[in-house]
Every structure is written in C-alpha cells, then in structure tokens.
Amino acid sequence: MTTESKQELLGYQSYSIQKNLKYFKPTKTTTTATFAEEIRNTLQFAKKSISPKFFYDESGSKLFDEICLLPEYYPYNAETEILQKIEKKLLPYLSEEFHLVELGSGSSVKTRILIDVLLKSQKHLQYFPIDISEILDQSAKNLCNDYPNLTVTGVVDTFENGLDFIENYDDKPNLITFLGSSFGNFEKSAGITFLKKISSLMKSSDLFLIGLDLKKDQKILHNAYNDTQNTTAKFNLNVLKRINKELGADFDLENFEHHAVYDEQKGRIEMYLRSLSEQSVTIPKSDLSITFSKDELIHTENSHKFSTLEIESLLKESNFEKLEISKLPELEQYMLHKLYCLNENFNKNYKKY
C-alpha cells in the first residue's frame, strides 16, 4: 500500500504542489463540522471560551508573525538566540537520517535554523510541518525554493491528528519540535496527556525539542500581551472574524475588546475578549444564538509560565528521561532523552526585552 493510500484511509487527501512539496489535509466537510461543533460546545455555557487553536487561520497566522516582531514580545527573539546556540550540542545526536517534524509551524521562520543544522549531518531532509492554518502552503513553498535538498510533506490538521499521521508514515527517526512556548496554552493535566502522547508515539531514536517560558517580572509579561501597537488585540479579535467568515456568525468586532491579565497564583497570562455592551450573536452553522452582558468575557487563551522545578516534575511525569550532556547553562536549557528542552529565562539573560 502506498503512503498516500494509507493516509487516505486515515481521512486525509493528498495534494501534490511540486516535485519536493506535497501536503495532506482532512476533507473540508470534516474540518468545518469540527470547528462548528467546538464553537457550539464552548460558547453556549455561562463561562464562554474559544480554543486558541482557532486563532491560526491565514489572517491570524500573519498577525502572529507581526506579534513576533514587536519589541515587547520577548519570546521570539530570545528563543531564536537559544536555537542558534544549540547546534554543537544537538549535532552529536543527529548521526542518522532524521525527519524534522514541527508542531505549529506557522510561517516556519525559526525552522530554518533547524533545517540548517540537520543538513550539516545529512544530504537530504524531509520536513513535516503540522499546522491547522492554510498558511502552511505558502511557507512550505518558500522553504522548498530556498533548500533544494529539502522535501516538505505538510499536514494541515491539529497536533494530535498530525502526530498520528507521522506515526503511520515510515520508520526513520524524527526530531519533533514544539517551539514558541506554545505548550503554555495547555492546562496542566491536558499538557501532561499531550506530552505522554508524544512520548508514546516516539521511537527510541527520536528526539523532541520544546520551548518553555519561565516565570518573570509581571511588567514584562503584561507588556508582552498588551503591546502598544494593539497587534495582539487584533490577533485576539480575529478569531471572531474567522467565526463570522466560516460559520456565518454576526459578531460585531467593535463591540468587543482585548483583555489580557497575569494571574500570579496560577502562573499564567489569561487572555479574553470583553463584551462592551449587552448584545446578541447568532452562529448559524453552529446552530447557536447567544447573549452577552456588558463586560462579559470570552476566554481565548492561557499562557502558562514555569519554574525549573515545575518543568522537571512535568517532564518526569510525562515519561521523559534525562540525557547526559556537559556544561549546559543553568536555568537556560536542559538536554533530556527524547527531549531537548529550551527554558527561556528572559529575566536573567534577556534584560534588553
């Protein structure tokens, strides 16, 4: 059975773009139904919410790229610096022909650093970006144009489904990456479940690279999620625009505002959309009519920050084991069996942000 046939049995359709680029995605009907059902399930209750995975349509992905360039948004520049430093420490573990697998690739900017590293240890590289956003197509084309020895097989789907896709692909070792501190979006129990799933899918030769944001001064955190150019606000509000476009809703974006606060006890930024007036909204494809009171909140994202002790406990509970490596900077990065963990200590090491 061909790879395409196996993936079609899993509910994917393949699209060949050019010789070194193809991608798989679920049928449009399935994707739309899932989106509509999830929106209905999370907006019909008293405590309303929208999953942050729905931020990343084409417009949302472009807005997030703009956020990464903001002076207040420290994670992007800091993580890029760390990635540029790990090459010599990572290369000894890449002696075989690895695939590069990325969860939440977006525009694939930081991915280029890892592609450069891997192509120093092998002649050809197969890259599997997994992203719910259609922007995956254009970013993959750009990579193929810049790297003639690169083959891109994109998966337009959720992380969990994308990992199942990779599990059924072939037997080569994978470097699986989850960057941008995106893990902070998970609640603790869901995060452990997600890490356990990754660990269970990985072969003994696989590696996992993850970026985690450490706890820091509250002013730095506040400014990072409440930038002066209001780009984060546009990004947050864009999810309502997406619901309007894809599900036929009638959200008036001028009747909502961005609201982000840090909860010190829970160690996380909480992001919301606040209703500015009493109003009603209908979402036809979700078969839903809802009312909002003035100042009522829609929860859209958590971004957890971690202490080093919390990280060590989390990884131990998720079945990752330490891998011996010498003289790693304390509080900056840890090498673990199956896992290379980047802890972004921006208070101590990145004061300029």
pLDDT at 327 over 50: no
CA gap 288, 283 in Å, rounded: 5
Burial of 35 (0-12, 13-18, 19+ CB in 10 A): buried
Least confident of 65-74, 230-239, 297-306, 315-324: 315-324
Under DSSP, is residue 262 helix (H, G, I), strand (E, B) or coil? strand
Residue 341 confidence (pLDDT): 55
pTM: 0.83
For residue 219, what are the contacts with CB-CB under 8 A and spacing of at least 6?
none
Instruction: Give the highest mean pLDDT range of 114-118, 238-242, 342-346.
Output: 238-242
Which tens digit of pLDDT belongs to each residue from 290-318? Answer: 999 999 999 999 999 999 889 888 888 88
Percent of the chain with pLDDT over 90: 48
Which tens digit of pLDDT belongs to each residue from 93-109? Answer: 887 789 999 998 756 67
Residue 198 and residue 176 in contact, taking contact as beta carbons nearer than 8 Å: yes
Residue 229 and residue 70 in contact, taking contact as beta carbons nearer than 8 Å: yes
Residue 336 confidence (pLDDT): 37
pLDDT at 4 over 80: no
Least confident of 48-52, 57-61, 107-111: 107-111
CA gap 107, 133 in Å, rounded: 10
Structure-block tokens of residue 240: 């309502």
CA gap 353, 347 in Å, rounded: 9
CA gap 129, 139 in Å, rounded: 10
Residue 28 confidence (pLDDT): 67
Residue 353 and residue 344 in contact, taking contact as beta carbons nearer than 8 Å: no
Count of CA atoms in the C-beta half-sphere (13 A) of 195: 28
Least confident of 45-49, 228-232, 259-263, 318-322: 318-322
If you average pLDDT over residues 185-207, what whole number do you get?
89
How many CB atoms are closer than 10 A to CB 58? 14
